[in-house]
Each structure stands twice: as C-alpha cells, then as structure tokens.
Amino acid sequence: VAVTISDVARAAGVSKGAVSFALNGRPGLSDETRIRILDAAATMGWTPSVRAKSLSSSKAYSIGIVFERPPALLSSDTFFPSFIAGVETTLSEREYALVLQFAPDADGGERAYRKLVRAGRVDGVILTDLRDDDSRVGVLLDLGLAAVTLNRPQTPSPFPAVRLDDSEPITAAVEHLIALGHRRIAHVGGTQAFVHGRSRRHAWATALERAGLAADLFVETDFGAASGVAATRELLGRANPPTALVYANDLMAIASLADVQARGMRVPDDLSITGFDNTDFSQYSNPPLTTVATDAVEWGRVSARILLDQLQGSHDGSDVVLAPPRLIVRSSTAPPSQER
Amino acid sequence: VAVTISDVARAAGVSKGAVSFALNGRPGLSDETRIRILDAAATMGWTPSVRAKSLSSSKAYSIGIVFERPPALLSSDTFFPSFIAGVETTLSEREYALVLQFAPDADGGERAYRKLVRAGRVDGVILTDLRDDDSRVGVLLDLGLAAVTLNRPQTPSPFPAVRLDDSEPITAAVEHLIALGHRRIAHVGGTQAFVHGRSRRHAWATALERAGLAADLFVETDFGAASGVAATRELLGRANPPTALVYANDLMAIASLADVQARGMRVPDDLSITGFDNTDFSQYSNPPLTTVATDAVEWGRVSARILLDQLQGSHDGSDVVLAPPRLIVRSSTAPPSQER
DNA sequence: ATGAAAGCGCTAACAG
DNA sequence: CTGTTAGCGCTTTCAT
C-alpha cells in the first residue's frame, strides 16, 4: 500500500542503500544522484516508516511521560494539559511522538516505566511531580534510559533538571503581605514529599524568618480542593489565627476563598489570600485572586527540547533554569482589618 | 542486550516459529513443547519487542488522539485529563499505547492525523470535540484508519460513536428551574459547531418550549471563562433579563457567578445558575453550584474498548450509549426573587 | 505436530 | 563515490 525505499530505489535506478543515504543527507553520493533520488521520493509520495526505522535503528522515536496521580486529582489539574501540550509541540517538530501513561501510585509508575522500556516504546522520559527521594531516578538509571526531571531532587541524579524557581514568587507574595501589614501569615502547602511542595514551604518560611516573624502557621495537604479547605478551617480555628494565607495552588485558594466567605468572613477585608498557578479562573473568582503566573507550556517545551538534545548527544547534561514566575497582585490581598 | 525469541528458541531447543506459536497461544504445538517454551521464555525474562512486532505485523499497537484546541483553552479543560486517563487505563491492559498530539485548529488536526497514519504510528484514533459537519471523518475514511467518535455527527459516519446523552440532564436542569418558578431561563451555550454545544442548546430549547416558554435568551460562547462572563453580561443587560441561567459548562458558570456577585447581585436570591461537568471546584464555589455530573474517565475507558474491539474485529460497529449524567442540585438554584 | 525460511522497511557495514 | 548485503525481532506460510 505505501511506497518504500525499494520502490524509490527502483525508480531512481539505484540501490536501497543509496536511497537511505540520500534521505538522511549523508555524504557519499554525487549531487546529481542525490537530487534524482530525492525527486523520485517526492513525486512518489514516500514517507518514512517509523516502524522500520525503529527496528533497524533500535530507537523508538518516542518519549514517554508517566503520570503518577490518583485519578481524583486529575480533573482539576491545570498544569498537566498545558505542560504536555508544550512537550508535544516540540516533539512533533522533530518527528517524535509522545506516549502517555497513568499510574495511580509510585509503584504502578515504576512498573509503567519498566514496561515502556522493555517493550521498546520510548527513548527517554520526562519525570514530573518529582519527589525529594525519588525512586524513579534509580529505576531509570538501571534501565539505561535518558531522562529529564522537572526540578532537581535531593537525591543525586545524573539527569538534567529543568527547574522553575518557585521560591522567588512565594517570597514576593510573603513580602507583599508583610508590606500590607500582615504579621500572621500562614501557608497551606502541598504534599511535602514533592520537590515543589517543599520548596514553596521553604520559601515561605525563609521570607517570614527574614522579617523576624514566626513560620508556625503551616498545614500540609495533597494539593486537592477538599484538603485545602480543611487545612484553612484548621488554621483559622487556632488560638492565634492568621490574617493572611499563602496557598500552594489556585485550586485550594479558590475553594477556601468560597468556604471562608460562606462562613461569614470577608476577603480581603478579614483575610488576605494568595494562590499559585494563575489558572484561568483565578481572575474570575470574587475577589480576583492574587497569584503566581507560571508558564506550563514553556516548561513542557523546554523539557522536551533538553531531552531530545540529550538523545542526540548535543546536551551537556547541565540543568536549565526557567524564568522565575511573577507574582500577580489582584484584589484578594489587602491590609489586615485591625489596621483599618 | 535484550533476550529475543531466537534465544528462547535455542534454549528450548526449537525453532523461532515454534516460539512465536507458543507465545501467541496458537494451535499446532504439543502441550509439552508449549510449556517448555513458555518456561524458557519466563526464566530468561523475555519481553516482546513492540518494534519488531509492529514491523512484521504492520500494526502500531498504539492508538492516537489529536486535540484540536487553542492552547489558551487547554489549561482550564477538566474533561481532557480525566478522559485520556480513562483511555489509557484500558489501552495498557491490552498492551496498547496512547500517542497524543495537539493542533491549534482543524487544519493542523487533519495534518496531524495524516502524519500519524503515514508514519505508521497508530492503528486507530479517537475523535473528540466532534463537529456536526466534521471533516476529519472523511479524512480518516480516506486514510483507512479505524476510529470511534465521541458523539455522533450529523454527517454520515461509518465509525461507531460512544455517546453521552446530555439532553437528559439539561432537560432536568430546565425543568428543575421551571418547577422553582422561573419563567425566563437563559442558556449560555458553547460553540454550536460542536455536537455537544448544539445538543445542549437543543435540549434547553425543547424543554422550554414544552413548558410553553420562549427559548429566546441564548448566547453562544467558546466554552471559555471570559466569553461566558461576556455572554452573561449581555443577557442580563437585555430589556427582559433572565432570572436563571443554564451554562454549558462549570467554568463559565463559576466565572459568571463571581462576576454577577461582584456587580451586586445575589445568587441564588436574584439569579439562579446551573453548570455542567461537576468539576472538582463546583462544590467549592459560593454558593455551591447546581450542575451535571459527567464521567469523563468512564467515557475514555469505553471509547478505548470500542476502538480496540473494532481493531480486532470483535465490534459490530454499532454505537454505544453511556449512562446519562445526573443533575446534582446544590445551592446556586432557588425560586426567583419576585416569588418571595 | 514441528521446523525452515521468506519477508516487514529501513540502517549501516562492507565490498566494488 | 556507489552499490550490495546482512541484519533488527517477530510473524506466517509452506514443507516436512
């Protein structure tokens, strides 16, 4: 059904080998034959068969991403769609495909990586939701697979990391709140086993301590709306409740915003709130949310580029640091009420 | 590096062909040899090479999904992550992989499908965001690719459709509002070129007409938050504004909810609102949103199953209808204020 | 019931 | 410089 290099070779009156050379732009052919071959290929409508290339070159021409996430947290995840869209954009420019898998937990994730490699489905992978002590790094090393990680784990990792500095905007958020007059600033953090969960908490604590304030108003969550709301209630129920809350993502911030309002508090009058992600709906909350704008698409694009470069040997293995996300001040933050 | 069937054949003292037969459970081998071969394969840790299987069987063992969507609408899309998670779950059970692509528009989408097929990357595809007169159907027919569509287009299509009846819950929503005493019920609909955009509008209009009410309060949007807000403002600015609004998705409903509240209206006292999707945050809006619960994961699972069955010839080509989603009544709907 | 051998479409080492 | 040829790992037909 499809036209192969044998057909092209016959049409151009050369051997398959010559066609392969011409198509891959390798030296060893006269310009005349090269052009004749390329012409023939073009007029015959030849397209390379990834299947055949894969087998003979032992490469998959695909890269994989395994998302380890409980299904329930998937639908409200605003990072993931944009991120993979960015990844895929870069891949398709270079004739690579994106193979996606889902695993409910870390165990399933490891198995997924093993299967992907053994079946020869992928040449490299992108590790998202990196944990500080991430077992996947060892697994991939063991499998001999190329990889990039999103952020750098504390465990030594030979893989280049594409890093987003979330300290800077969190610091900016805390300083913004301090400047407004807040003294009791809480943090509703995400899973601390994740690098991005811990680093945000760390930035929050550091900024407070630098200002001589205690960093004792903290609760860990799973980044989900329900646990964000629960954390908020717990914090506001303390003897000395916060006047401002820094959330690790917009989802928790907005869910909590609605919850505290339903319970009679006014935002920002009684309570200031900041989010993280600048999701679409953060500007449509009431009041619009002060948050941090990250660029997931760009992160995906860069990650894919580094991985591809690594596969073709043109990356030196060093980390890449993305532009730090900016704090976007909207109306969910204001001076604390006692100041008024 | 990896163990192949030749290795297994040698170890078991048989030919490659015999190994292939044993592994694929085909008749023509004595039970004794079969067991000996399977044992050898297991102890040697043999795994099939998808690459080799692909080449020799001319199958990709992968299915594709091309998302035609402007990047900006991607991040707030709650359907997509759950849907592909469902798809992938089913695929991996049957040793198939999911290949994902993104295209900014219909043109790019067509090109993407063509490339996927010509490169031999996929055996079939799932068509999402189906349009009424969807050019992709013709393209796929032309390419000879297997496919399933999400919902049935008006254009004749030979591909089985996996359908979600969104008429029933929209009808339920309208009847719920009518029962509460509303008489001017608007619909903020999504892109009408999409099957699911049109069918929701149709259900809304039909339910109103059945009750003897005019279905004249309608505005079309692109399903995005911004255009949902704009549509709402337009509707509320009319001479005879609605007392209730039925939105085509939660995103527009929640963004508009915040917007009307910011402009001094109370929900549900002055205005009732319903959404569609039952996204995570719909229960955390203030007030919690009356909406329609769809099961994107299940939709994905079923779609993948039908496609796979079709590939192995065990599906009869008929459509599959999913359980109709249910209306979830929360606190964003109440009797209109003049009734009080 | 079992085994040999010819592809699948391409790459790359080798000979001319 | 150009062409020939032997794989890559598996499926499948055809003898045995």
Place of tokens 């069918």: B199
Closest protein residue to C12 (Cα–C1'): A17
Per-residue pLDDT reduced to its tens digit, B255-313: 999 999 999 999 999 999 999 999 988 999 999 999 999 999 999 999 999 999 999 88
CA-nearest of A115, A118, A161, A98 to A310 is A161
Residue B127: CB atoms within 10 A of its CB come to 25
Spell out which residues of chain B touch residue A254, defining contact as CB-CB under 8 Å.
281, 284
| pTM greater than the 0.85 cutoff | yes
Closest protein residue to C3 (Cα–C1'): B15
The closest nt to B21, taking CA to C1', is D11
Calculate what percentage of chain A has a pLDDT beyond 70.
99
pLDDT band at A320 (very low <50, low <70, confident <90, very high): very high
d(CA A129, CA A249): 14
Average pLDDT over residues B204-211: 98
Contact, A75 vs A42, CB < 8 A? no
Residue A309: CB atoms within 10 A of its CB come to 15
Give the β-pairing of A272-274 and A244-247: parallel
pLDDT band at B340 (very low <50, low <70, confident <90, very high): very low
Does residue B339 surpass a pLDDT of 70? no
Partner-chain contact B71 A82, CB within 8 Å? yes
Count each helix (H run) and each strand (E run) in chain B, helices first.
Answer: 12, 12
CA-nearest of B180, B132, B191, B154 to B290 is B180
Distance, Å, B243 CA → C11 C1'? 70
* A5, A91, A95, A100: best to mutate for the B interface, most B CBs within 10 A: A100
Partner-chain contact B255 A95, CB within 8 Å? no
What positions of strand D are covered by protein, i.e. any atom < 7 Å from a CB? 1-13
Partner-chain contact A89 B102, CB within 8 Å? yes
CA closest to B68 among chain A residues: A85
Partner-chain contact B71 A85, CB within 8 Å? yes
Place of tokens 């694009």: A301
DSSP string of B128-170, one letter each residue: -S-BTT-HHHHHHHHHT-EEEEES--SS---S-EEE---HHHH
Calculate what percentage of chain B has a pLDDT beyond 70.
99
Place of tokens 């990680």: A149
Mean pLDDT, chain A, as a whole number? 93
Does residue B119 surpass a pLDDT of 60? yes
d(CA A92, CA B66): 12
Q: Which two tokens stand for residue A271?
A: 């309570």
CA-nearest of A104, A110, A64 to A84 is A64
3-state secondary structure of A162: strand
Phi, psi of A135 (to 5 degrees): -65, -20
Q: Which two tokens stand for residue B340?
A: 């009080």
Does residue A167 surpass a pLDDT of 70? yes
CA closest to A331 among chain B residues: B262
Angle at B205 between CA B199 and CA B209, to 5 degrees: 145
Quote the pLDDT of residue A260: 97
What positions of strand C are covered by protein, i.e. any atom < 7 Å from a CB? 1-13
Spell out which residues of chain B touch residue A92, defining contact as CB-CB under 8 Å.
101, 112
Per-residue pLDDT reduced to its tens digit, A242-284: 999 999 999 999 999 999 999 999 999 999 999 999 998 899 9
d(CA B4, CA B22): 14
Whether omega for the bond prior to residue A287 falls within 30 degrees of 0, making it cis, is yes
Shortest alpha-carbon distance between residue A82 and chain B (Å): 5
Does residue A23 surpass a pLDDT of 90? no
Name the residue with higher pLDDT: A21 or A254.
A254
Q: Which two tokens stand for residue B335?
A: 């009797």
Distance, Å, A308 CA → C15 C1'? 35
Q: CB pairs below 8 Å between A and B: how many? A: 162
Residue B209: CB atoms within 10 A of its CB come to 11
Angle at B86 between CA B80 and CA B89, to 5 degrees: 135
Average pLDDT over residues B132-153: 94
Does residue B254 surpass a pLDDT of 50? yes
Nearest to A85 among B51, B74, B281 (CB): B74
d(CA B281, CA B111): 36
d(CA A249, CA A275): 5
Angle at A233 between CA A228 and CA A234, to 5 degrees: 95
pLDDT band at B315 (very low <50, low <70, confident <90, very high): confident
Distance, Å, A212 CA → C7 C1'? 76
Spell out which residues of chain A touch residue B71, defining contact as CB-CB under 8 Å.
82, 85, 297
> Which strands sit side by side in the sheet containing A185-189, from one edge to the other?
A218-220, A185-189, A244-247, A272-274
Partner-chain contact B51 A49, CB within 8 Å? no
B101 to A94, B67, B94, B115: CA distances (angstroms): 13, 6, 21, 11
